[in-house]
A and B are shown apart, each in its own frame.
Chain A
Amino acid sequence: MPDLLNIGTTGLLTYQRALSTTSHNIANVNTDGFSRQRSEIQANSPTFKGDLIFGNGSRVASISRAYDNLLTRELRDNQASFSRAEVFSQLASTIDDVLADPQGGLSPQIIEFFAAVQDVAEDPASTTARNTMIDIADVLTNRLTNFDLRFQNIEENTTQQIRDVVGEINSLVEGIRDINLALQDTNGAGILTKQSADLLDRRDVLLTQLSERVDITVVNEEQNVISVFIGNGQALLNGNNAFTLGTQNDPTDPTRDIITYSGLIAQGDISDQISQGELGALLRFRDGVLDPTRNRIGRLAVGLAETINAQMRDGMDLNGNLGTDFFSYQAPVVYNNLGNTGGSVTAAITDVTALTIDDYSATYNGASWPVTSTSGTSATLAAASGNLAFEGITFALDNTGAAIGDSFTIRPTLAATRSLSVVMTDPDLVAAAAPIRTDTSLNNLGDVTISPGRVTDVTNADLLTTVTIRFNDPPTDFDVVGANPAQNGVAYTNNMTVSANGWEITLSGVSPQGGDEFTIESNAGGQGDNRNMLLIGALDSTNIFDGGTATYQEDYATAIGFVARQTQAAIIDSEASEALLIQTREQRLTVSGVNLDEEAADLVRYQQAYEANARVIAVAQTIFDTLINSTR
């Protein structure tokens, strides 16, 4: 027959354990990821005596944790979205800050440069104005170089962070594997010995930390063991086997890293499959914000250089020579992909208006060269080698020694920002004047006038040859003496355009007279001429980019707007997902968190039960004493 003493003892032990669970809860009130534990108290199996059944006291059957699997999974998912949004918004903000700095931004420099251009136009013979224009252009190019240095820093940082995060992922996965292994520990009798709530909590914390870095899928296996997958189902942890992620240089572009996976089945580049967590944010920031912005600023640099150089070449300098380039910049960067056996590709920018902000890849397929842009447009050179003009770039493709599949990456505007510099150092070389001027003979008897003239082809070898337009008698036609090829007996009409030697002029007037003469000659000595400077000044408000739809400043504003929208969206996204994350955390805390008042109540409850059980033992002792004394 069960006796009071035994029953009291089970009660004492039960409440001792219950109290220790409660105190464990209190001790872990601030432990991250801790799930409060409960002692499940059961009655011991009864003893049957004849037709009577006696209870045998109580015991703690198990320690359970207050846990909700769904909430834990939601917490991981929300954590992954939040980290992506937060890291992305932080990264995007760095560019946001670079572009919009009122002192460091590009916009004021462009305004100042064109103000300097106007000052030269106002007084073209002034060496001071010309020097100022060159100096301010230097400031502009330095600003661009600084921009690119900051972009480069951001890129290097991004690459370093990608490597760090991949390393952290690998060590977290190892930690999870170790817990998986521990959970399977058994004693000699084959009974699991370490199925502890605390271990499970610890593993959930690691999983949440892993979710911070990359989006994962968790699958529960037997005996509380889990497997972890990323991307399109690549296993990072398969029960007891951990697989690693790695980084390596992109074979098509040595300036960046790709994420590699080495598992049992899948191998290779999985960068595109990672979208969430810090890693997703880093990759998406690099490809979706940093590269397009760098390329756009690069294109702006190319645009400034190409348009101003072209106009400068159309003019004449103080020495009476045709103008030369004002800016220089580094030609498109071409990466020879690892594994190429031969071939060569060079690229040059030939049309700024058609230039995009894309990068390109050219692949030799045995007979031709398809060239594809990052936005998906493509063109093909239908020959083994030759030139292909595509989107404002001329690709010189050469298959010498190339095997099928050899490919090249072309980044047209990447180097322009950093390399833009002013090559014109002599202020006299600033081509403020137009190369030609026109003159009406004082001897003319008719009323025909000649326009100041316009250069249409500065490369014409005879551009600066003195040409005389002389009316014949009767003055119905005229000869263009000095034109190459010769133009004689040209019929005259009012307001007609005469073109020769790379220029064009307009003759207006109703009554020419025989012998009337007009001269078109080199503008050497025309140091007061500002016509070319006015044309350079007009470039500021000329629509240049994207097929002639955007000015320099509008294009720059587009860059700012793009980054600002990305940043703003990321900030909104991160605020929203933070709210969601906090909500999920609170829901989890509602279920699993420790409430000190609750524990205090439990403490009182279990203590009272403990005292009562102790009383039972005391009663048992009293009964025993009574018995002993009665027999004395």
Chain B
Amino acid sequence: MRISSNQIFLQGVEAFGNQQVKIARLQEQISTGTKLTRPSDDPLASTKVVELEQLVGEQEQYQRNISLAEQRLRLQEGTLQGISNIMQRIRELAIQANSSANSQTSWNAIAAEVRERYEELISAANTIDPNGDFLFAGFQNQSQPFTQVATGTIEHIAFSGDEGQRQIQVSRSRQVNVDINGKDLFLRVASPLGLNEDNTTVNGLTIAPSRVFDQQTYLNQANFSTVSAEYRIDINFAAGTYNVVDVNGVDGPVGGSVGAGTYVAGESIEFNGIRTSITGTLVADTSFTISQGLYRDVFDVLNGFEETLRDSGLSGDQKAANFGQTLADIDSAFGQILDARTAIGGRLNVLETQLSDSEAYVLASRDVLSELRDTDLAEAISQLSLDQTILEAAQGVFSRITRSTLFDFLR
């Protein structure tokens, strides 16, 4: 076989070139720590890396969501603990009040503390989270949900929030509720004293949330256990009077009158142990209907308690009955608080499980990512020294081969 002089040089140069490319690639892999310096190094691994990184990013976001959700739930738990404490104190006051040993003076003293606790409870119901959002307002969390108002003689709480509950994404398929429904918590205290007004505003007149001020009278009506109470207050424009009609005959004949008087805007209207108040200027004949409901709100329970304490017109028995019901209603409110705290506990458990799942997932994904992407240093460095040895050998061979030529011997 023939060989031309150029071939010797070309082969040598080519060998050096190839070897140097290999060494440069290894150097890049070692110095950057990644063997995937560009997608074409390994198309399959590169696509996998993009997808895995997105999944890891997603999981890390979920972990952040979880930690924020946890903070929020802990704040709620703390607030609920505070509310429980208030309710506990009120319960003690109710027990203390429910004793014939009390004089009106001592009842008044208890009433003063109830008022304090009442204000405290409203403030707790309007708790703001670190973001400045009202905790128990539902979706409309930028405005105060519970405000004190008075309609006529009745002091009550107006709720301007809603039932909306915020969810937080804690995994691709799972959302966790991070809101406590303030409406359920504060406004749905199951009680036999619950009263509903069908329409609160008619012909420009407004009726206050009615309240049972004497439960002994209210519950002891003739047919109370067989029919539900329902009363219609008819206001006569021409005569300027009102007449309360017993719609279901809970106390006597169906349609019988249980109370009547002159309509004075903003004054109390009392019948069968119920007190209500209507405000506004009379312009036409107007009717309101009050019927037996399922719930009182917790503020109403406290208001009623305070009223009973201060009301010197009630007999000892009547007061005792009211205090007994107050205790029952407070326990019912405790039930609501407990429900909420149980729900929070359950959610915190879910978050914890999700967090550990997510962390395990991220850990596993990072392992795979590292396998796909990171340089195996031991392997790369031993490969580097092998390639260097080959290069040196090639250089040595080249210099020996090119050293001798026939011309050297031509003298």
Contact = CB atoms under 8 A, between A and B. Distances in A.
Chains A and B form a bound pair: yes
Interface string A576-614: 000000100110011111111110110110000000000
A600 B41 CA distance: 49
Given A442-B183, A534-B175, A597-B405, A433 B295 contact: no
Nearest to B7: A589
B139 A526 contact: yes
B50 A525 contact: no
Contact of B39 (A433, A440, A541, A560): A560
A170 interface: no
Given A445-B294, A525-B143, A561 B175 contact: no
Nearest to B159: A442
A107 interface: yes
Contacts of B57: 108, 111, 114-115
A596 B406 contact: yes
19 contacts: A93-B38, A93-B40, A96-B39, A100-B38, A111-B61, A118-B65, A121-B168, A452-B164, A525-B142, A528-B142, A537-B169, A551-B54, A553-B50, A561-B39, A565-B43, A585-B10, A591-B2, A597-B406, A600-B405
Contacts of A553: 50-51, 54
Interface string A515-546: 10000000101111111001001101100000
Nearest to B6: A593
A567 interface: yes
Interface string B40-57: 111110111011011001
Interface string B283-323: 00000000001110100000000000000000000000000
B138 interface: yes
B174 to A, nearest CB: 11
A262 interface: no
Interface stretch (B99-107, B129-137, B265-273): B129-137
B5 interface: yes
B6 A30 contact: yes
Nearest to A552: B54
Contacts of A133: none
Given A437-B162, A557-B50, A564-B40, A125 B133 contact: yes
A571 interface: yes
The 5 closest A-B pairs by CB, nearest first: A593-B4, A526-B139, A528-B141, A564-B39, A564-B43
Given A111-B57, A528-B133, A560-B46, A437 B139 contact: yes
A526 B166 CA distance: 11
B163 A440 contact: yes
A444 B188 CA distance: 11
B89 interface: no
A593 B39 CA distance: 41
Nearest to A106: B50
Contacts of B39: 96, 99-100, 560-561, 563-564, 567
B3 interface: yes
Interface string B170-192: 00100100000001000110000
Contacts of A564: 38-43, 46-47
Contact of B4 (A110, A556, A595): A595
B142 A567 contact: no
A594 B6 contact: yes
A125 B40 contact: no
Nearest to A553: B54
B143 A107 contact: no
Contacts of A568: 40-43
Contacts of B3: 589-590, 593, 595
Interface residues of B, number: 66
B238 interface: no
Interface in B192-206: 196-198
B166 A528 contact: yes
Contacts of B142: 125, 525, 527-528
A438 B139 CA distance: 11
A439 interface: yes
B14 interface: yes
A564 B43 CA distance: 5
Majority secondary structure of chain B interface residues (helix, strand, loop or mixed): mixed
Interface of A: 29-30, 36, 92-93, 96-97, 99-100, 107-108, 110-111, 114-115, 118, 121-126, 433, 437-440, 442-445, 452, 515, 523, 525-531, 534, 537-538, 540-541, 551, 553-554, 556-558, 560-561, 563-565, 567-568, 571, 582, 585-586, 589-598, 600-601, 603-604
A604 B409 CA distance: 11
A5 B24 CA distance: 68
B167 interface: yes
B2 A525 contact: no
A123 B133 contact: yes
Contact of B61 (A99, A118, A526, A527): A118
Given A121-B168, A595-B3, A582 B293 contact: no
Given A107-B50, A125-B141, A442 B188 contact: yes
Contacts of B151: none
Contacts of B239: none
A567 B36 CA distance: 14
Contacts of A442: 183, 187-188, 196, 293, 295, 297
Contact of A589 (B4, B14, B50, B133): B4
Given A586-B10, A590-B3, A594-B4, A561 B166 contact: no
Contacts of A551: 54
Nearest to B165: A452
Given A118-B64, A558-B47, A560-B47, A567 B40 contact: yes
A29 B138 contact: no
A410 to B, nearest CB: 30
B406 A601 contact: yes
B408 to A, nearest CB: 9
Nearest to A116: B61
Nearest to A452: B164
Given A122-B168, A527-B142, A528-B142, A439 B163 contact: yes
B336 interface: no
A540 B51 CA distance: 12
A531 B165 CA distance: 9
Interface in B331-389: none
Contacts of B234: none
Contacts of A439: 162-163
Nearest to B1: A590
Nearest to B137: A528
Given A36-B4, A525-B143, 19 more contacts: A92-B40, A110-B54, A111-B58, A115-B64, A122-B68, A125-B133, A439-B163, A523-B139, A526-B138, A530-B167, A554-B51, A557-B51, A561-B46, A563-B39, A564-B42, A571-B40, A585-B10, A586-B7, A586-B11
B166 A529 contact: yes
A107 B50 CA distance: 7
A341 B166 CA distance: 60
B50 A534 contact: no
Interface string B63-94: 01100110000000000000000000000000
Given A557-B47, A593-B7, A600 B407 contact: yes
A122 B130 CA distance: 12
B132 A121 contact: no
A123 B69 CA distance: 11
A527 B142 CA distance: 7
B293 A443 contact: yes
Contacts of B405: 596-597, 600
A110 B53 CA distance: 11
Contact of A526 (B68, B134, B140): B140
Contacts of B14: 582
A605 to B, nearest CB: 12
A254 B164 CA distance: 56
B163 A529 contact: no
Interface in B117-149: 131-134, 137-143
A29 B133 CA distance: 87
B7 to A, nearest CB: 5
Contacts of A438: 163
